[in-house]
Amino acid sequence: MAESIEKKKARARTLIRALERAYPDAKIALEFSTPLELLVATILAAQCTDERVNQVTRTLFKKYTSAGAYAKAELATFEREVHSTGFYKAKTRAVIGMAKELVAKHGGTVPRTLEELTALPGVGRKTANVVLGNAYGQPAIAVDTHVFRVSQRLGVAKSDDPEKVHDQLCEVIPQPKWTQFSHLLTTHGRRQCMARKPACPTCPVRALCPWPGKSLK
Ligand code: SF4
């Protein structure tokens, strides 16, 4: 019999408590000090590790300190500066295009709504939710690859479409926990519930996990 929404919500609350105990240090791994820095770092983090992005942005953020500075960046120079994050041509176009739009439509300030953020070139729903949740303190679930995989193994969402997973999680997870829930699942996905070989025997939420593929050793 399918789990009722109320039972799923109760299980999700228990899961969150267990994950909070297991990962009291769970937080965003990207380094930033302004919403603009987080927006740029999140665009650069596509298909790249947060560690690599942090290495690049430590230099980048000293040079480009406003949306206007990114908007005026020289294409080939910027491509070189972000080269090591991969997909550097597309990321350069995205960052410069996004910055031009910020200057043209928002006075150089990063907007505070999902609609305005996702209207910027190169900014999808995940990126927008990272910014809203971590730079603006608005509850937001960012469905990265770990949240997508782990939430399904834990049976709190089910879909091939990250947007549907996002909407299902918003129904089940208490709103004040949305941002932290993303960090908990990302941390759990990196340290325990890895894509290829999850470490199920030592998993702190093993008893709450309904995934039929969980391993015994
Ligand atoms: S039991 Fe295994 S599959 Fe389930 S959450 Fe833990 S590590 Fe992931």
What pLDDT is recorded for position 107?
Answer: 98
What pLDDT is recorded for position 178?
Answer: 98
* Residue 66 pLDDT level (bands cut at 50, 70, 90): very high
| Same domain? 13 vs 57 | no
The average pLDDT across 58-64 equals 98
What pLDDT is recorded for position 10?
Answer: 95
| Same domain? 40 vs 119 | yes
Which of 126, 161, 214, 217 is catalytic? The answer is: 126
By most ligand atoms within 8 Å of CB, the mutation choice from 153, 186, 196, 208 for ligand 1 is 153
Report how far ligand 1's centroid is from the alpha carbon of 199 (Å). Answer: 7
What pLDDT is recorded for position 147?
Answer: 98
Q: What is the pLDDT of residues 151-200, one digit of tens each?
A: 999 999 999 999 999 999 999 999 999 999 999 999 999 999 999 999 99
18 lies in some domain: yes
What pLDDT is recorded for position 40?
Answer: 98
Query: Domain limits at 14?
Result: 5-27+141-208
178 lies in some domain: yes
Q: Known catalytic residue: 126?
A: yes
**pLDDT over 90, % of the chain:** 95
Which of 27, 72, 89, 144 is catalytic? The answer is: 144
Q: Known catalytic residue: 27?
A: no
Domain end position, chosen among 116, 134, 152: 134
Report how far ligand 1's centroid is from the alpha carbon of 153 (Å). Answer: 7
Nearest CA to ligand 1 atom 8: 193
The average pLDDT across 41-64 equals 97
The average pLDDT across 44-71 equals 97
195 lies in some domain: yes
Length of the chain: 217
Q: Is the pLDDT of residue 214 over 90?
A: no
Q: What is the pLDDT of residues 131-158, one digit of tens each?
A: 999 999 999 999 999 999 999 999 999 9
Nearest CA to ligand 1 atom 3: 214
145 lies in some domain: yes
| Same domain? 45 vs 108 | yes
What pLDDT is recorded for position 2?
Answer: 78
Within 6 A (CB) of ligand 1 lie 153-154, 192-193, 198-200, 203, 205-206, 209, 211, 214
Nearest CA to ligand 1 atom 4: 209
214 lies in some domain: no
Q: Is the pLDDT of residue 216 over 80?
A: no
By most ligand atoms within 8 Å of CB, the mutation choice from 11, 156, 214 for ligand 1 is 214
| Same domain? 61 vs 147 | no
Q: What is the pLDDT of residues 106-127, one digit of tens each?
A: 999 999 999 999 999 999 999 9
Report how far ligand 1's centroid is from the alpha carbon of 131 (Å). Answer: 28
122 lies in some domain: yes
Query: Structure pTM?
Result: 0.93
The span from the CA of 141 to the CA of 165, in Å, is 10
